[in-house]
Structure 1
Amino acid sequence: MFQILKAESTIDFMRWSKFAFAFSILMIGASIFTLSTKWLNWGLDFTGGTLIEVGFEQPANLEEIRTALDAKGFGDAIVQNFGSARDVMVRMRPRDNMSGEALGNQIIAAIQEGTGENVEMRRIEFVGPNVGDELTEAGGLAILASLICILLYVSVRFEWRLAAGAVMALAHDIIITLGVFSMMQIEVDLTIVAALLTVVGYSLNDTIVVFDRIRENFRKMRKGDPEEVINSAITQTLSRTLITSATTLFVVIALFAQGGAMIHGFATALLLGITVGTYSSIYVASALALRLGITKEHLMPPQVEKEGAEFDEMP
């Protein structure tokens, strides 16, 4: 029978599992603390409000624009460049008894008066608070439903210790990614929800590849304790993991650098999620399964006694 032997070049990943656990717990604790104190910077998709895109003939002075809006009673306006130095995006919270169009006209008039420049309104969007509440609920339910479906899938496909490691790794990735968004106060809109769901799928795929090799090695390696088997499986899939992550990150980095403001948050979420997901596939999912006591006996297929076998053994 073919036998998989432990390669001499096997990397001892589990040697650093304690440090990795400590690092992950620290990151999760910091993320939960940040989320509990600062929460998330919800975008207009969730909070409702008005978004106005304004075009200037010359590079815009953001501080001058903020001062002009503050003088007209719009001190809560968020002003930032959008795509280029001559394009400015102004985001406002909902105003009672004022339509989005009227608010946009007042914003344009305040900017023109304060800066003395002719500006062009490129785009104006209005999202009501009721729609924002519905999107918040729908986005949260989408992530929760995906995690529940993944839990059911891995529970059927793998032994429960491996399934627990996979689900905890997914939760690890989402919490840390949201913690970074909270700490940096990056605006969270529907594209971020899409990015988080993409991260869940990417991280799960990477984890399943590793777990398939772990299960195969447990069944074929006659010698070696569970730690050696897991190290061997991770080493054997390491080149695939790194190549997949690297090629994906090349595209994400290009989107992050050149994609523009519209998808900046989406690219940021993917950049964080893929990086953390690659780390968690090695040091969270596999290491947690090891800590839960996974052994060869747990992954061996049940032996089915053939009918009539007792008669074959009779002389």
Structure 2
Amino acid sequence: MLEVISSNSNINFTGKFKLASILSIVLVLGSLFFSYSKLKFGVDFRGGAEVQVKFADNVKLDDLRGNLVKSGFKGLSAQTIGEQADNEFLLKVAGDDENLNTITQSLTDTLNKNYASQGVEIRKVDIVGPKAGAQLRISGFQAMLWALIAIMIYIALRFDFKYSPGAIVALFHDVSIILGVFALTGTEFTLQTVAAILAVIGYSVNDTVIVYDRVREHEGQFVGRSLAEHINNAVNETLPRTILTSGTTLFVCITMLMFGGLAIRDFFLAMTIGIVVGTYSSIFIASPITLMCEKFQKNKEPANETVKA
């Protein structure tokens, strides 16, 4: 079996928890700040019009987007549908309740006028009102919240309650950093992003569960050792598997991000960030929180015994 790092390695991960915790706190606080102040929501979440259009002749996506921006359409996004040779595109433009119909009509008129020689065909027109967009936005965040709650219950039932907070904090850390990068890069938060974040949540918790499972195994085999020692040994033993699986998945995500086209770019941007920070958080976030929870339980037990006495 190929081993990038020997499973017998003895890296002192627990000794680096304090430095990693400081770094993570800075990253999460910065990400939350930028997410609150700079995050851009797509048409799905803020309201606007979607127009599906097909051309008989070849039309380049960049040229189409540039011409429509020059025509004065704000918050425009454009992506291909199907194969590039199909010359079919999905256009999204921002709007509000007062001018949605006007913007939609103006967009179709502009397409018919500027691309009449290319055989333009308006295939579908959808309008998303701001209220409906706001409801979708709430539903998207609720989906992530319910996923976190379900994972917390699962971890508590499969292992022990002291393991649940670490998994949840690690996932919150991952989601926050993804949103922060989206805010900093000006990438729109869309339904695709929600799907990618839910996928990242599942991938990240899988890494965490593997470490927890090995910790539980060590607690049964080596009674008397501290939890910090169990965690250190478990992370070292699972490190080769973590690097290989995360590395191969990351390679695929980067490839799709670079060569997959605009239609799936945002999805794989979130996945790429999520795999990196998810692998990091499984080691340097979930484990220290678990140690803190165990210390809290041990400090609470003498206090309870004193009260009973």
TM > 0.5: yes
How far, CA to CA, are the matches of 1:89 and 1:226 in structure 2? 53
Aligned ranges for residues 69-218 of structure 1 at < 5 Å? 69-70=71-72, 74=73, 76-78=74-76, 82=80, 90-94=91-95, 96=98, 98=101, 102-108=105-111, 111=114, 118=118, 120-121=120-121, 124-129=124-129, 130-218=131-219
Judged with a 3 Å threshold, the aligned counterparts in structure 2 of structure 1 residues 287 and 138 are, in CA distance, closer, same or farther, namely same
Judged with a 3 Å threshold, the aligned counterparts in structure 2 of structure 1 residues 58 and 24 are, in CA distance, closer, same or farther, namely same
Contact 1:41 1:186 (C-alpha < 8 Å) held by counterparts: yes
How far, CA to CA, are the matches of 1:26 and 1:124 in structure 2? 45
Aligned-pair CA distance for 1:267:
1.0
| Residues paired across the two proteins, number | 283
Per the alignment, in what secondary structure is the counterpart of residue 71 of structure 2? helix
Judged with a 3 Å threshold, the aligned counterparts in structure 2 of structure 1 residues 125 and 21 are, in CA distance, closer, same or farther, namely farther
Aligned partner of 1:308 in structure 2 is none
Structure number with greater Rg is 1
Return the letter of the residue paired with 1:251: V
Return the letter of the residue paired with 2:195: A
Aligned partner of 1:255 in structure 2 is 256
Per the alignment, in what secondary structure is the counterpart of residue 10 of structure 1? coil
Greater shift after overlay, 121-130 or 157-166?
121-130
Unaligned runs of 5+ in 2: 1-6, 300-309
How far, CA to CA, are the matches of 1:291 and 1:94 in structure 2? 48
Judged with a 3 Å threshold, the aligned counterparts in structure 2 of structure 1 residues 8 and 162 are, in CA distance, closer, same or farther, namely same
Structure number with the higher helix fraction is: 2
Aligned-pair CA distance for 1:105:
2.3
Contact 1:196 1:270 (C-alpha < 8 Å) held by counterparts: yes
Contact 1:154 1:163 (C-alpha < 8 Å) held by counterparts: yes
Unaligned runs of 5+ in 1: 1-6, 299-315
Aligned partner of 2:48 in structure 1 is 49
Contact 2:108 2:122 (C-alpha < 8 Å) held by counterparts: no
When normalised by structure 2's length, the TM-score is 0.78
Contact 1:50 1:124 (C-alpha < 8 Å) held by counterparts: no
Aligned partner of 1:302 in structure 2 is none
How far, CA to CA, are the matches of 2:248 and 2:18 in structure 1? 29
Aligned partner of 2:273 in structure 1 is 272
How far, CA to CA, are the matches of 2:67 and 2:118 in structure 1? 13
Contact 2:8 2:237 (C-alpha < 8 Å) held by counterparts: no
Judged with a 3 Å threshold, the aligned counterparts in structure 2 of structure 1 residues 125 and 181 are, in CA distance, closer, same or farther, namely farther
Judged with a 3 Å threshold, the aligned counterparts in structure 2 of structure 1 residues 106 and 156 are, in CA distance, closer, same or farther, namely same
Judged with a 3 Å threshold, the aligned counterparts in structure 2 of structure 1 residues 89 and 69 are, in CA distance, closer, same or farther, namely farther
Aligned-pair CA distance for 1:203:
0.9
Return the letter of the residue paired with 2:249: T
When normalised by structure 1's length, the TM-score is 0.77
Return the letter of the residue paired with 2:245: T
Aligned-pair CA distance for 1:66:
5.3
Kindly report the root-mean-square deviation, in angstroms, between the aligned alpha carbons of the 2 structures: 3.2
